[in-house]
Amino acid sequence: MKTKVCIIGGGPSGLLLSQLLHLKGIDNVVLERQSREYVLSRIRAGVLEHGFAELMREAQCGERMDREGEIHEGFFIAHDGRMDRVDLHRYSGGSSVVVYGQTELTRDLYEARERMNGRVIHHVEDVKLHELTGDAPYVTYRSGDEIVRVDCDYVIGADGFHGVSRKSIPRGVLREYERVYPFGWLGVLSRTKPVSPELIYARHERGFALCSLRSQVLSRYYIQVPLSDKVEEWSDEAFWDELRRRLPEEVSQRLITGASIEKSIAPLRSFVAEPMRHGRLFLAGDAAHIVPPTGARGLNSAASDIYYLYHAMLGHYLDGDDSGLDGYSAKALARVWKAQRFSWWMTMMLHTFPDSIDYDRKLQDTDLAYLFSSEAALRSLAENYVGLPF
């Protein structure tokens, strides 16, 4: 098989790039290890920054997002028994975010790829990357007993944190930065009316909690749990009881509970791999970086990589200008690190740390007190949450 761009991974990063390139006539193939159903069964993030929503529209995939997604102009931080609102619209100079599930967004991208006869190949096994530093890279994979070879100009590693692409960069070249947090988030999806029309991030001595939503009939809630907890040990009832305890009284009284449709525990991690380019391989999304979900940056950081990569590819194929490709790693990483900083800060401010000392808790109190007493601090939070410019 021959193509211009071989994209490894059919998650949101890979599919979005595939769709954008296709619309500009740049031939590409997506290789995905799992089935489409499996990819679409993963419940992940749900907050899209303005620039990401624009990119979805440019990819001709914004119709359902615009119809069913909700525009949110603010969210709440609950602490010390009270609720303070962050007015995103006011403090970001008129911007907002779109609440639309990653699962739905991925479904829209798959449907668009199918509609346009895009090549998305599922169930590929043993994907291997070859000759990345030469002029003629290629990728091989196994399909049953057959080994298939894909010759291409460029390889995109959009295969998530556990993918093969990042591991194909030699150890001496790659530098990894990581922080693992001593807790996870237990998440529940339930077909119930959300407790609040806007998200509530709650700091509580028993641990952090988040009230989020997918629509006005579908709620997503999280509580911080120790890493040793097992999801099977958490009954729905125990989850709702614990969530109630961590919310201000007036909120917990309104909470409508129901059977969980999905329940899982995700560990929290900060991770960056540098550089994001090696020869003709370009990393994007979770393959290169992970953030704890507290700042809603994960999916959005993937989208900014795709924005830079897409424009770099347009420069190369349409204008013969390689400066975008040459500058990709530095440009993407500059924004990635800002998302890391913001996610780390939100995480540190709102979670309960098992080994914290009184001094640390006083600083957390002060961080929140400063935030809600300073317009400059609110502006800083808001501009990061709605997404820094690309």
Minimum distance from residue 124 beta carbon to ligand APR (Å): 5
- The entry of ligand APR, ligand PHB, none near residue 137 (CB within 5 to 8 angstroms by kind) is none
CA-based nearest residue to 207, from 375, 365, 357, 352: 352
Choose the binding region for ligand PHB from 8-16, 25-33, 151-159, 293-301 (rule: CB under 6 A).
293-301
Minimum distance from residue 215 beta carbon to ligand PHB (Å): 11
Residue 62 in contact with ligand APR, rule: CB under 6 A: no
Choose the binding region for ligand PHB from 105-113, 128-136, 228-236, 288-296 (rule: CB under 6 A).
288-296
Q: Looking at this protein, which amino acid is placed at residue 103?
A: T
Which residues in 26-55 contact ligand APR (CB under 6 A)? 31-34, 39, 44-45
Contact with ligand APR (CB under 6 A) among 3, 6, 12, 199: 12
Contact with ligand APR (CB under 6 A) among 221, 286, 316, 329: 286
Which residues in 118-157 contact ligand APR (CB under 6 A)? 124, 127
* Sequence-distant (≥ 6) Cβ neighbours of residue 226 within 8 angstroms: 182, 183, 184, 354
Minimum distance from residue 4 beta carbon to ligand PHB (Å): 35
How many H helices and E strands in the chain? 12, 20
Write out the H or E segment, with its range, that includes residue 357: none
CB atoms within 10 A of CB 198: 18
Sequence-ordered alpha helix ranges (H) in the chain: 12-23, 36-41, 50-58, 63-68, 88-91, 102-115, 236-246, 249-254, 298-319, 323-350, 358-371, 375-385
Residue 108 in contact with ligand APR, rule: CB under 6 A: no
SS3 content of the chain, % helix, strand, coil (to 5): 40, 30, 30
CB atoms within 10 A of CB 21: 23
Residue 296 in contact with ligand PHB, rule: CB under 6 A: yes
CA-based nearest residue to 268, from 163, 180, 162, 176: 180
Residue 184 in contact with ligand APR, rule: CB under 6 A: no
- The entry of ligand APR, ligand PHB, none near residue 160 (CB within 5 to 8 angstroms by kind) is ligand APR
Residue 99 in contact with ligand APR, rule: CB under 6 A: no
> Which residues of this chain interact with ligand PHB, rule CB under 6 A?
45-47, 199, 212, 220, 293-294, 296
